[in-house]
Amino acid sequence: MAEFLMPSLGADMDEGTVLEWLVKPGDEVRKGDIVAVVDTAKAAVEVECFEGGVFGSVLVGPGATVPVGTPLAVITPGPMAEPKAPAVSAPALAPGPPPPSPASPKVPATPPVRHLARQPGVDISQVRGTGPDGRVTHADVQAAAATQRRPRVTPFARRLASELGIDLADVSGTGPGGAIRAADIRRAAPGAKAPPAAAPPGAAERPAVPLSAAAARPEPQPEAEQAAERQAAMRLAIGNLMARSKREIPHYYLSTTIDLEPMTQWLRSRNRELPVPSRIVPAALLLKAAALAAREVPRLNGFWRDERFIPAEHVHLGVAISLRNAGMVAPAIHDADTLSVADLMARLRDLVARARSGRLRGSEMTDPTITVTNLGDRGVESVFGVIYPPQVALAGFGKVTTAPYAAGGLLGVRSQVTATLAADHRASDGYTGARYLEAVTRFLQKPEEL
Amino acid sequence: VTPQQAREQIGPALTRAAPGSDIDTIDPGTDLRDALDLDSLDFLRFIEILSETSGRRIEEDNYPELATLDSSIRFLAARLPSQRAGFTWQRAALRRFTSHPSGCTG
């Protein structure tokens, strides 16, 4: 029996929230199948399972937030093995509204254990029971109490709590990291509306954790507030990762101005022939050149792990995508060096659309071997980026401008772009970085070959 | 196409290209890309949708004319009919030319 764990979807992820299960107990799953959607501070991510078999039982229901590495479900290896696992014959995961109130004492636990949980303020519905029938044991509560951190409280929630006269110690948070949000305060307020009551069949038989689904699927929150919380969580995640990068990685930076006149001209004539939906933006060509250069200079394409550089076999190009006012993500375009420009363009559009409104995949979040940031659209000339650990390099492109440029002994007005490289000095030296930018420059002089 | 009709094409196109954007809230004279935080992919999507709904292919060379809401309205409202007429006329001329090649030399 294998456990399907909460995956780490990037170096900046400590915990995740199960948003949705896409398979149900008894379903046969193959390695790589998308089985669940997990929400991180940065995006809703479709996660693949790493083992085939029969999907046995769900240990963590929709809405619950758990640390990375927490078992989420049980997968029984081998085709069509009967999902006869103990304790878990029941959890029919019906779609639809979550089960009723988190306060309802459906968590299997004995009264003494319940009492024990009350002391350190452990939310028993959040504790995964390891006893028979998923019962929450003494040890479970103690473990939960030991690992319990002081919950964060959003400023708005704190204000609301003081206005409503609610003790924050009585409120269990459903935000990222167990943070207490305004919705939690409202629910804790006397006379609060009960959450949707229409429990799906079988809901009563769910094991401990899924009950918390009700707590984590709060009643509709004002959109602005939700967005603000989301943004705060995102800033925290980005901040932590970037602080780690700057703390651990000795960055060095290089910059060069690239003549883009050949590329611009080629693109203009190409786009005149293409149907509008197939039109190519300059960023696609810049990305392709960056990917080809990464293949040519493998020392910059890979990971720094355990005090050594591990080259990557493929070029999975991370693309920094602005989520407008809600932060950014840098998911991968797989094997970007092997894609035609048209394919790369299609993948880029798809990736950006999914990052902003839809869903990213787990592999896209974890795979990037080198990242490109392109701030050209925002009008800046150059960007010196911060490397995403454990990657060892980040290439940047600024705005494509027209400027005086000496080429072939003549001064002309030509398109150009400033390309930069931030690289990890532990893995490479400036000489290697210079070769990378030279390669990018060279590839961009022959756009038709990209 | 009247200015009002043009506006009715532009509004939904922008909303589809950049969800959440509302043309009623922006200064019609400012750059759309700045006002709505559009990147090159968003702008391409806007052009793509507008090309589709207006029934006319918008070239990259036209992009400067679609920089602001006002200029986009002007572009669609004022130029579309005449361009269409011009296009039809050219096609007609081309048909004549290709069907009677001898008429040209002699």
ipTM rounded to 2 decimals: 0.73
CA dihedral A418, A424, A427, A431 (to 10 degrees): 40
Tokens of B44: 């391409």
**Which helix (H) or strand (E) is A371 found in, with range?**
strand A370-374
Tell me what the mean pLDDT of segment A323-338 comes to: 89
Burial class (CB in 10 A: 0-12, 13-18, 19+), A99: buried
In A260-346, at which residue ranges do the beta strands (DSSP E only) sit? 302-305, 308-311, 317-319, 321-322, 328-329, 332-333
8 Å CB contact of A268 and B60? yes
Q: For strands A393-397 and A360-361, give the pairing.
A: unpaired
Model confidence band, residue A419 (pLDDT cutoffs 50, 70, 90)? very high
For residue A121, pLDDT over 70 is answered with no
Report in angstroms the alpha-carbon separations of A104 from A207, A211, B97: 13, 9, 83
CA dihedral A50, A52, A55, A57 (to 10 degrees): -50
For residue A303, pLDDT over 60 is answered with yes
Tell me which residue of A129, A58, A56, A54 sits closest to A93, measured CA to CA: A58
Q: Smallest CA–CA separation between A258 and chain B, in Å?
A: 20
Model confidence band, residue A339 (pLDDT cutoffs 50, 70, 90)? very high
For residue B12, pLDDT over 70 is answered with yes
Tell me which residue of A217, A180, A176 sits closest to A327, measured CA to CA: A176
For residue A183, pLDDT over 80 is answered with no
For an interface test with B, give the residue of A263, A272, A324 to mutate (most B CBs within 10 A): A324
Give the count of beta carbons closer than 10 Å to the beta carbon of residue A392: 27
8 Å CB contact of A268 and B58? no
Tokens of B2: 């009247």
Which residues make beta-bridge pairs with A16?
A66
Query: Is the CB of B44 inside 8 Å of chain A's CB atoms?
Result: yes
Crossing angle of helices A282-296/A341-356, nearest 10°?
110
A157 within 8 A of A185, measured Cβ to Cβ = yes
Residue in chain A lying closest to B61 (CA): A268
8 Å CB contact of A352 and B47? no
For residue A28, pLDDT over 60 is answered with yes
Q: Decide: pTM greater than 0.80.
A: no
Tokens of A396: 């940047």
Chain B residues in contact with A271 (beta carbon < 8 A): 60
For residue A99, pLDDT over 50 is answered with no
Tell me which residue of B21, B9, B16, B1 sits closest to B50, measured CA to CA: B9
In A174-275, at which residue ranges do the beta strands (DSSP E only) sit? 251-259
Bigger pLDDT: A97 vs A308: A308
Tell me what the mean pLDDT of segment A50-62 comes to: 86
pLDDT of residue A293: 98
Taking CA A348 as the corner, what is the angle to CA A342 and CA A352, rounded to the nearest 5 degrees?
A: 155
- Backbone phi, psi, residue A360, to 5°: -100, 165
Bigger pLDDT: B11 vs A183: B11
Scanning the structure block, which residue is given the tokens 């030399």?
B105
pLDDT of residue A260: 95
CA dihedral A127, A128, A132, A135 (to 10 degrees): 20
Scanning the structure block, which residue is given the tokens 């969580």?
A233
